[in-house]
Structure 1
Amino acid sequence: MINVLFVCLGNICRSPMAEAVLRHKVLEKGLEHQIRVDSAGTGDWHVGKPPHEGTRKLLDSYQISYANMAARQFASEDFTQFDYIVCMDNSNADNVRNVPGGAEAEIIKFMDMLPDEKLREVPDPYHTGNFEEVYELVNAGCDVLLRKIEAEHSLA
C-alpha cells in the first residue's frame, strides 16, 4: 500500500480538499487498493471537525466525496505511516520537519509539483475565500502527484 498525506495548517480547507480530490482520482483509476490518502493539520484548533463549508460546497459542485473526513493533527507516527507527505505551504513544511521523530517519508511542497505556476504556496482559502483557485491548483497538482506515484511504483 502506498500512503499519501496532505498537510496544511488547520486541516479543514486545503489538505482535506487535496485528500478528497486525490481519493477521487485514485478511485477513477481503480487504484484504491494500492493507494491510501489522508490529510492532517499542523495545528490542533479544528481536530474532529469536518472540512470547511467552502471546501464542502466546492467538492459537492464537482461531485467529489468527503465522507467520513475529520480534521486531525500531524503526529510523529505519520513519518513512518506515509510514503509521501505533501505540504501545502512553506510554513507547514517547516512545521512538519520540526516534529520530533525524523522524516522517513518523502516531504514534498505541493507547489513544487506545479513549477510553471507563479504561486509557490497554495493560498489558504480560510483567509482568502477563494476555494475555486485552490481547487484548480489542487486538481492539477494531484494529477502530477498521481503520475509520479504510478511511475515510481509501476502502477500504470
Structure 2
Amino acid sequence: MRKVLTVCLGNYCRSPFAALVLAHRGAAELEVRSAGLIGKWEGEPANESMIVAARRLGLDLTAHRARQLTLEMLDWADSVLAMDASVLDVLRQIADDDVQPKLTLYLGDSDVPDPMGKDQDAFNACAVLIEAGTALHIR
C-alpha cells in the first residue's frame, strides 16, 4: 500500500480534502494523511466552506482535525503532494535528501488555488479541481 501525504499551508482546506478524496477513490491502494506547514488550526475541524464543498461532492470532511507537518510525516510518506508551489518550496527547504524525490505538486505542474477568504463558489471550484486531480495519483 502506497503512503501519500498531502500538504497545504494550514491543513484547514485543501490538503484535508485532497486526503479525503484520495482515500475515498484509492482506498485499496493508498494510505493517505494530510498536514499543514503552520499549526494555526492545530486540532481544529476543516473550514466550514470546504466541508460544504466536500458534501456537495458526496464526501464527509467533518471528522478532520488539522495537524502541523512533522519531519516524521515526511519520512512516513512514499509521496508528498504539495497543494501549491509556495508549499513545495518550503518542503524542499526542510526535507532531507531522502525525502526530496518524494516531493511534487498535487496537480503535477500547477497550483491548487487557496480559497481562504473567498466565497463558497471558490471553495466549490477548489474541491472540484482537487477531485479531478486524483487521477494523477491513483493507478
TM-score of the aligned structures, taking structure 2 as reference length: 0.88
Structure 1 runs of 4+ with >3 Å offset: 100-103
Q: 2:103 aligns with which of 100, 107, 115?
A: 107
Q: What's the counterpart of residue 41 of structure 1? A: 36
Q: What's the counterpart of residue 126 of structure 2? A: 134
Q: What's the counterpart of residue 17 of structure 1? A: 17
Counterpart AA for 1:70: R
Which entry has the higher C-alpha Rg, 1 or 2?
1
Conserved 8 A contact 2:6-2:34: yes
Deviation larger for 6-15 or 100-109: 100-109
Report Cα offsets for 1:59-95 as digits up to 9, x if no partner.
Answer: 1122212253211111111222000100011110111
Conserved 8 A contact 2:82-2:88: yes
Gap runs ≥5 in structure 1: 148-156
Paired with 2:97 and 2:71, the residues of 1 have a C-alpha distance of: 8
Conserved 8 A contact 2:50-2:123: yes
Counterpart AA for 1:125: P
Conserved 8 A contact 1:48-1:72: yes
Paired with 1:125 and 1:140, the residues of 2 have a C-alpha distance of: 17
Q: Structure 1 residues 75 and 132, CA, compared in 2 at 3 Å: closer, same or farther?
A: same
Quote the RMSD (CA, aligned, Å).
1.7
> What's the offset of the Cα at 1:10?
0.7
How many percent of aligned residue pairs carry the same amino acid? 31
Conserved 8 A contact 1:77-1:101: no
Gap runs ≥5 in structure 2: none
Paired with 1:128 and 1:67, the residues of 2 have a C-alpha distance of: 20
Paired with 2:63 and 2:128, the residues of 1 have a C-alpha distance of: 23
Paired with 1:103 and 1:91, the residues of 2 have a C-alpha distance of: 21
Number of residue equivalences: 136
Counterpart AA for 1:52: N
Q: 1:58 aligns with which of 37, 50, 53?
A: 53
